[in-house]
Amino acid sequence: MKIIETSRRKFLQGSVALCVYATSSFSSPIFTTKTSDKKVKDIPYLCNMCRNKCAGFARVENGTLTKLNPNQYFPKSRNMLCPKGNAGIQALYDSDRLKYPLIRIGERGDGRYKRVTWDEANEYIKDKLLKIIDEQKDNRSTVAYCNGEGFNKDEYIKFFGSKLGSANFLDEGSICLNTKLGATQLTIGDIGEMDVAGSDYMIISGANRYESLITPDSVDMIHAKQKLIVLDPRCTMTAIKADEYLPLHPGTDLAFCLSMIYIALKEELYDKAYVKKYFQDFDKLQKHILKNKYTAQWAEEKSHISAEKIERITREFFAASHPLYYLGRRSVWSANDFQLRRAMVLINALAGSINRKGGIIFGKPFRLKEEEITEPFYNNAEGRFDLDGIVYGSQKGGSWLNFREKVINQTAPYTVKVLFVRKHNIMQNMPNITKTKKMLTMMDLVVVLDTMPSDTAMMADVILPECTYLEREDMVVSFNRLEPSLALRNRVLAPLYESKTMQDILKGLGKKLSTPLFEISSKYDEDLQDAIKEQGKTKAFNEGGYNLAELYKDDISTRNKKLILTQFDENVYVSLKTKGVWHPYIENQKNLGNDLYEYYPEDKRFYTVQKKYKVNCFLKKLQKYGFDAMPTWHDRYDFKPAKDSFRVITGRYVTSTQTATTNNMMLKDMKETNRLWINAQVAKKLEIEEDDYVIVTSSVSSVVLQAYPTNKIAPQVVWFAHGFGATAQELTNAFGKGASDNMIIEDKFEKIYGCATMHETDVNIRKL
């Protein structure tokens, strides 16, 4: 293959030129294609435009994907596709897509790459990786790897963690919702699921369910006969649709929650029978809350929600038959986030809303068996270091900010030289982008697997083009607990250009790397040396599980069939292949009207299950490490931005998924850029008018974007949506549009789960 040496601009032109060629050869449209009046066989698939996963049917005509439609069989997605789901076609046919493997030929970040074959790319990775692992004396953890996409994450971990032997896996959890998962797990012993549909009184703190759609929650909220209370420092769509909207200061939701607990205890509103049966250390909680006098008046001072409202809502909440304090599903805001989530769980528990309709339910998910693989044992592989100084932390996904900090300060116990990045735009997704850039420049090898030339891909040494979700089959997945189902992503089209599925990419890498890496281990690993002496090289290799590609011996189709047939039966398999979904009542779904369905009959849903659990009010481990064992307010949590400065908070539009969809033609059409929401009265004083450009400066950096003065945001708060401000010119639709929030958000993280706190940055605003 001809090597194209290109400058940054030429790279772009090259990809455009190739796209023209590609469109003719794959007959793929760049824009919309009208569907025909012919009947075709729709292919069931699972959406991947965001983390949520809805089911759909893809319409393919003459080899071209023309339409995506919702799937009525999936209990989770309630027969709907959101704007992003509908715009998946544009993700598939995005002309900026990564089309073939690329190797960097310029400086890191300057965008100069040459096109190579898959074999050349793998060879390049092999040479670099072997040298590094040899230098590091077989410490496999020198290879860090990260993944931002939910699907295939476990397969990815199995390759780099179980097989290759690195301890350093990082995922989006520590810049997302780990505190919520942890708080629920530690308080009631399970992460549970919230039964929004069954709740008649729901309080939401900040979660913006109508602009960040999660199924079935968002859909159920629309139809549920419930009173909805929304707390938010910004009047979001969810707030607009709420029965009652309580504006408050950022980061003071905990004060509101503490006050709710106080009132519930003081007025004895809580479910006494439940508390008696399930609560551990209830007396400690009672004493702690009452002693600290978290009264409604106190909470009013902290949060700006009137005491009268707090009292009334608390009483209404505890008087409701199925109250639910929605635990949220979004990034961590403040240093008190872990205890905030715990306070929410405790409020639900005090109302008895655990393991019952309309509360946090445990349910009965389908548990899919894992495919067995042999994991080699590496004596020289060191453990992870990013949870040092973190109380709990996620053993799986670690703490990004702590990891990055230790790498760039070189305070890690060993050096991390390699980073594999899959579908994880780390140059945009975590606070203080400058530091991420620094970390990447310190690496000897950065390999990016992605579909788009993201800001992160542009920092890679090797770019491996992965296909989109519409071009691959994935392993069957179990969804939900209340109305559990299985869903399978079927392949809609063969991978376009030279892109491959993750499994095929790893299989290629595995084939290339297995033997040489085994050789390195045999050089340093005494146990392996013994094994070789005993069994001979081939046997030691095979039985020790050193074949990295073991999992990918069979293709996904075969593996899926095998897995489903061993655990279920033929009907389930056929249903998954033809409908994309299976649940026990799929043949008898009842149309409730207007194409909304009842999936499980009411009496078959797993509202309440037999399960031993306790509600832990007091976490001793936290006390041991010098943290609050119970939700507690500290003065440092008070909302007090310096004079003339603003607290910057973040969020997103309904039409974008973090930074993954910024280049989507269709979605760009709906929302082209982000704007700075600033209180209208404040803006007037600063003489900032609509469309004016403003510079937003934090201690870290500054960004420029257009202002949107509005009365929908608090005077000392500014907001702009995440997902814009891409710096990669190769993203032709996204480049130069809006500003990136993580450019200016300070890289602070809380110490219980090591999660980045996104709402702790104060900024100054100046009109340009």
Partner 1 sequence: MNFIKKIIPMKDFTLRSLMQFEKTPLNMLMFVITIALLVAFGWGVVEYLVHSHHAYNITRQHPWGLLIAMYIFFVVSSTGLCIVGSLGDVFGFKDYMAMSKRAILGSIVTILAGFAVIAFEIGHPVRMLIYNVLSPGLTSAIWWMGTLYGIYLTFMIIEFIFLMRNDMKNARIFGLTGLLVGLAAHSNLGGVFGFLNARIISNGVFYPTYFILTAFITGIYLTYLMYGFRYKMQIPDDIKKGLLGLAKIQALLLGILMFFETWKLMTAVYGGMPGRADTAEHIFHSAGFLYGEVLCGMVIPFVVMLATKWQSIKLYVFTSFIGMIGIFFMRYDLVHDTQVKPLQMMKITEYQLPPTWIEYFPSAAEIAIGFGAIGIFFMLYYFGQKMFELDATEH
Partner 2 sequence: MANYGMAFDYKFCINCHACEVACKEENGIDLGAKNHRLWIQEDGNTSGDFWNLDKDKVQFMQMQCQECEEAPCLKACPNGAIYRDDNGIVRLHKNLCDLTMACMHACPYGARYVDEKRHVTDKCIFCADTRLARGETTTACQITCPAKLRYFGDLDDEKSEISQILKERKHFTLKSELGTKPKLFYLE
- Chain residues binding partner 1 by CB under 8 A are 670-671, 675, 690, 706, 708
Closest CA to 741 of 661, 647, 649: 649
- φ, ψ of residue 224 in degrees (nearest 5): -65, 140
- Picked from partner 1, partner 2, none, the partner binding residue 92 (CB below 5 to 8 A depending on kind) is none
- The residue (of 267 and 690) whose beta carbon lies closer to partner 1 is 690
CB neighbourhood size of 88 (10 A) = 25
Among 222, 494, 609, 768, binds partner 2 (CB under 8 A): 222
Burial of 3 (0-12, 13-18, 19+ CB in 10 A): exposed
- The residue (of 86 and 236) whose beta carbon lies closer to partner 1 is 236
We find the least distance from the C-beta atom of residue 233 to partner 2, in angstroms, to be 9
Q: Does residue 33 touch partner 2 according to CB under 8 A?
A: yes
Q: Does residue 383 touch partner 2 according to CB under 8 A?
A: no
Among 12, 202, 207, 235, binds partner 2 (CB under 8 A): 235
Among 2, 24, 34, 612, binds partner 2 (CB under 8 A): 34
- Picked from partner 2, partner 1, none, the partner binding residue 68 (CB below 5 to 8 A depending on kind) is partner 2
Q: Is residue 179 a contact partner of residue 203, using CB atoms and an 8 Å limit?
A: no
Closest CA to 731 of 428, 356, 472, 520: 428
Closest CA to 563 of 579, 582, 547: 582
Distance CA 737, CA 460 (A): 23
- The residue (of 12 and 714) whose beta carbon lies closer to partner 2 is 714
Q: Is residue 85 a contact partner of residue 56, using CB atoms and an 8 Å limit?
A: yes
We find the least distance from the C-beta atom of residue 666 to partner 2, in angstroms, to be 6
Tokens 């393919």, located at residue: 60
We find the least distance from the C-beta atom of residue 417 to partner 1, in angstroms, to be 45
Q: Does residue 27 touch partner 2 according to CB under 8 A?
A: no
Kindly determine how many residues on this chain lie close enough to bind partner 2 according to the rule CB under 8 A: 58
We find the least distance from the C-beta atom of residue 721 to partner 1, in angstroms, to be 10
Among 245, 414, 600, 735, binds partner 2 (CB under 8 A): 245
Q: Does residue 731 touch partner 2 according to CB under 8 A?
A: no
- How much helix, strand and coil, in percent to the nearest 5, is found in the chain? 35, 15, 45
Closest CA to 656 of 239, 213, 242, 329: 213
- The residue (of 210 and 541) whose beta carbon lies closer to partner 2 is 210
Q: Does residue 674 touch partner 2 according to CB under 8 A?
A: no
Rounded to the nearest 10 degrees, how much is the dihedral formed by the CA atoms of 357, 362, 366, 372?
Answer: 170
Interacting residues of 139 by C-beta distance below 8 A, sequence separation 6+: 133, 380, 381, 382, 414
We find the least distance from the C-beta atom of residue 366 to partner 1, in angstroms, to be 41
CA distances from 362 to 193, 232, 342, 546, 604 (A): 6, 28, 17, 38, 14
- Picked from partner 2, partner 1, none, the partner binding residue 85 (CB below 5 to 8 A depending on kind) is partner 2
Q: Does residue 651 touch partner 2 according to CB under 8 A?
A: no
Distance CA 203, CA 325 (A): 5
Among 419, 714, 731, 765, binds partner 2 (CB under 8 A): 714
Q: Does residue 240 touch partner 2 according to CB under 8 A?
A: yes
- The residue (of 120 and 598) whose beta carbon lies closer to partner 2 is 598
CA distances from 46 to 73, 491, 748 (A): 12, 9, 35
- Picked from partner 1, partner 2, none, the partner binding residue 184 (CB below 5 to 8 A depending on kind) is none
- The residue (of 671 and 722) whose beta carbon lies closer to partner 1 is 671
Six token digits for residue 418: 């390699």
- The residue (of 608 and 673) whose beta carbon lies closer to partner 1 is 673
Residues lying near partner 2 in the complex (CB under 8 A): 31-39, 66-70, 78-83, 85-87, 89, 210-211, 213, 218-219, 222-223, 235, 237, 239-241, 245, 247, 304, 593-596, 654-655, 665-667, 669-670, 679, 681, 710-715
